[in-house]
Structure 1
Amino acid sequence: MDWSYWERNTFLQPCDVLIVGGGITGLSAAIALLEADPRLRVTVLERGFLPLGASTRNAGFACFGSMTELLDDMARMGEQAAWQLVARRWEGLQLLRRRLGDEVIRFRPTGGYELFRDDDAQAYASCLEKMDAFNEAMRDISGMPVTWSVADDAIPRFGLGQVRHLIRTEGEGMIDTGRMMDALIRLARERGARLLFGLGAEGWQQRDDGGVAVSTSAGCVLHAAHLVVTTNGFARRLLPELAVLPARNQVLVTPPLDEVPFDGTFHYLKGYVYFRNVDGRVLLGGGRHLDIEGETTDAFGTTERIRSFLLDILRQVVLPGKEVAPEYWWSGIMGVGEEKAPIIRTVAPHVHVAVRLGGMGVAIGSLVGQEVAELVLEQMA
């Protein structure tokens, strides 16, 4: 395509920082850069007309980890590293809330719950054994006197089926993901970022002057002093050597119901299954553990096996005895890896990454964006 004089001198001008990925992390990085130095020319490139991936497709959980998930993390990465990650998730949630405001993102501190069925007796016993130590560790992070407690008395009130035990998590809540992303987009623009939606990055190369040239899906080449990749589960399209893999999660939402007997966020099977109430409906997602290999993909879509599993959970556990047909199905793409900690580093001269949020983008994305912005600013100084 032949670009007009006006296009070349407005939208295609070189910038100081080009951010590839217009989700939570990329927009947070842009905001942090411009709050630190409003003179910077910052451009955000997003392949979708909306920030797809996971940022607009998650469940809207403001959480930092259920007990079984944290126990699993500790077995893989050690207690100290796991608690450091929890602290970063907590800090990221507070940053998000301060930046946008609870009313804007419709944050509600409902508390969260982890459920245990008959087959989960050993996992539940492990949680009870560690509960006091967990509460002590979390007290140092959040200041809350008690974070995790047994909540079996709530099972009848919530109307859950086949659930033997509940553990409540204080400090957890829910947000409206769409309103969060809309607010981040508006704030990034207010701070002075140029957002180019519907334009994908196809490749990049170093320039002789030390900058970076990025080829795009529209055929134009964008030039920047620094490139920041925040595409999470899609990052290996640009940087194949990164230790991050895509992970698809499938989600359903019911039609409006006469009554949803619970109010909160719920976790099951180390977080591989999750549900909540939203606008008089039930949102339920997960099931990736049934087919880890098949769900290690950056292709959107749903599968019969996982849809069937989620419907069984919906009708047997969440809304037992009710034949409810979902009104919406969708999928989102997370970025995961053998290690849970995000990757935030410089991978080539003037090329930086902030990816692998491990399914906790709502919690940690704002902080990861802030940290990669600080990395860029240090190298600019």
Structure 2
Amino acid sequence: MRSDGAQRGDLRWLSADEQGASAIFTALALSAVLGFVALGLNAAGGLAAKRDLQQAADRGADAGARALRSGVAAAPVARALAKDNLNDTEAMVSVEWPPAAGRCAGDPLAIAVEISRPRTVRLGGLLGADVSVVRARAVGAVIQVAPGCLLALDPAPGSIRESGSGRLLLDGCEAFAAGPLTPAARLPQVNPYSVPAASTMACVAGTLTVSGVLVVRNGAEPQPRCGGVRVAPGGRLRVEGIAWRLAGPLHVEAGGRLETWGATLWTGPHPVEFAAGAQVELQPPMAGSMAGVALLGASTGPPATSRLVAGSGQKLTGAILLPTQTVELAGNAAACTQVVAGRILVSGITRLGHACAGVGVKTLMDQRVALVE
């Protein structure tokens, strides 16, 4: 038998023996490393799966919102497009219209698409789970955009643009242009005005030149001239309380003055020019079939260009409806102006606003589709 001292010595030897300790630490470290590897692999895989599902949910919600705007059944469209963008038979697609939760909850102009699928967890035994669920959600909505100050009907790019020193300043209103944001199929919804087609009218040869003072009102309308109307320098033309139909172009020269009061200038397919240095003030009717319409063109006819470039000398109150023409703008002192034209060119500093209470103009309103969640 060993003495107590020998036994104690052996125990001290045993406690000092470090053989096998490194294996224990290696095993623990390896488990930790494998855990981190598993976390990394699953995080990367989860992000990739989430990205794919989110893209499909976004496209489904966008398609559903466009269907809502068009007035067709939105849920089947959203579900079908979401599934078309998935290469995954295990994914589950659910559609809510209107959404039951989120900031668009209960909104009939919003639709939600949610996609979920199970995903196998790599090295799941180390993480305590073998399967997880990946989810993605998107909400598309139809957003009312109003009021509009400008509407360009030509779908070609650049139908509203600034040229040279031109600068367009919009006060509380929007600019709408045919194209991807406002396709031609929706223009009748955006534009509430009805513009007649071009038609011929009886006229006599020559141009009506105003070099003094001419007041045009009901019962005092000059005979239509095929060459239109020209307001010469020093001339003053005032139109009161009627829709005055012209048989040719309207030209206000520098130093000339044009005033309308409760009246509409009906120019048909013919161009209008307010030259730099002219004085122009338009006030449309506040009621009746021409309410709010200051200048009325035609819905058909050859292309033309109207130049409203009188600068600080022009105050264009009301709606200017020249749908077949290019309209050039430079300057405006009115608080309420709308322009509906084929193309719109801004060549000077031009401020347009929609302080239109009591003017009689209608509201230009668009509906945009956006992903809001």
Per the normalisation by structure 2, the TM-score is: 0.22
> Could you say which structure has the greater relative contact order, defined with CA pairs below 8 angstroms and 6 or more residues apart?
1
Per the normalisation by structure 1, the TM-score is: 0.21
Structure whose alpha-carbon radius of gyration is higher: 2
